[in-house]
Amino acid sequence: MSLRSLRLACAAALIFPLQAQSVAGPSAAVALPSLAPMIKIASPGVVNIATRGTLTERVRRNPLLEDPYFRRFFNVPDSEVVRQRQFQSAGSGVIVDAQNGYIVTNRHVIENASEITVTLLDTRHFSAKVVGSDEATDIAVLKVSEPHLTAMALGDSSHLEVGDWVVAIGNPFALGHTVTVGIVSALGRTGIHPRGYEEFIQTDASINPGNSGGALVDLRGELVGINSAILSKDGGNIGIGFAIPVNMVKAVMGQLIQYGAVKRGIVGIKLQDLTPEATEALQLVNSRGVLITAVAPGSAADHAGVKAGDIAVAMNGVALDGATQLRNALAVVRVGQTVELRLLHEGGTRTVVLKVNTPGTAADSW
């Protein structure tokens, strides 16, 4: 091995502190790092998902009927044709409970599917049924009746940092189990699907169509995210992919398994990010926190003494940076549970405990 090759191997060993694999031949004493040992442990927990179903579409009988003047001149009724179309699609999933056969994937992977087939790494395949799904977070849970499964260990996405190495495992373009590697490019990304609850992990590990529902794992082989979306002009990877943090996945899948749906409650507050103008007007040192702009009369927040103008700086001991973070955190709290908010008001701080109510129990359903 040349001196340059030796230097590259040493540098790689510092980047990837994983189990090393010896190189055969004269340089057998030099060990090169490899992701292979971790991949062998994590891969059996990732499955390929194939779906079949029927889509119902509404289309006009003739393109001329799109013209309102044509319809009015010929007195053509404003009617549409209902057409059904068969579809097939492919995605990925992660086994999270081997004993009970639970698999987590994206909701959009199994949407409108009447037939779902799961294929394991060892090529065994069997039918799956939907336990529950949640459109707001794009998470679904499937169940299979198969005693010999291998679940993936669940990590803690709150420990992720920008620059951490991550690996994506899935079924891109229906090629079967495929592994790509990259880093965490950003955390807490929002605005990808504005109508939902988002706090995406952004990564440059290659994620392509078919990776949806697959695993994003750390170098310990623990699940840190469910790959969900890409930013692309042509549908292919350009180095910007998004994964749902595993902590959000754990909270949602627990409700899906228990209830078949997510039961979201209310606490009765309206939220807003702290703008530079608001920070200056309130004479704050920094803009970290969430401004509470209104409190619903008779709500849990009202009973706890929360006031408009309060600034939430932490929930359950976790510091808050913006309104989206608090909104997402409240969205996965089960009805009947309590949350602790640390509030800042007129220079002083206090802690309040709020009970998440069933929608409709407060005067306003904020």
Residues acting as catalytic residues: 108, 138, 212
Nearest to 139 by CA among 111, 115, 159, 114: 111
| 201/194 Cα distance (integer angstroms) | 16
CB-facing half-sphere around the CA of 148: CA atoms within 13 A? 8
Nearest to 253 by CA among 145, 129, 134, 92: 134
DSSP string across 205-271: S---TT-TT-EEE-TTS-EEEEEEEE--SSSS--S-EEEEEHHHHHHHHHHHHHHSS--B-B--EEE
DSSP 8-state secondary structure symbol assigned to residue 24 = P
Pairing of β 178-189 and β 223-230: unpaired
Phi, psi of 224 (to 5 degrees): -115, -10
| 364/366 Cα distance (integer angstroms) | 6
Which amino acid, one-letter code, is at 308? A
Q: In 3-state terms, what secondary structure has residue 353?
A: strand
Give the distance, in angstroms, between the CA of residue 247 and the centroid of all CA atoms in the same chain.
9
Q: What sign results for the dihedral spanned by CA atoms 183, 162, 186, 271? A: positive
Nearest to 117 by CA among 50, 210, 45: 50
Nearest to 48 by CA among 144, 102, 123, 160: 123
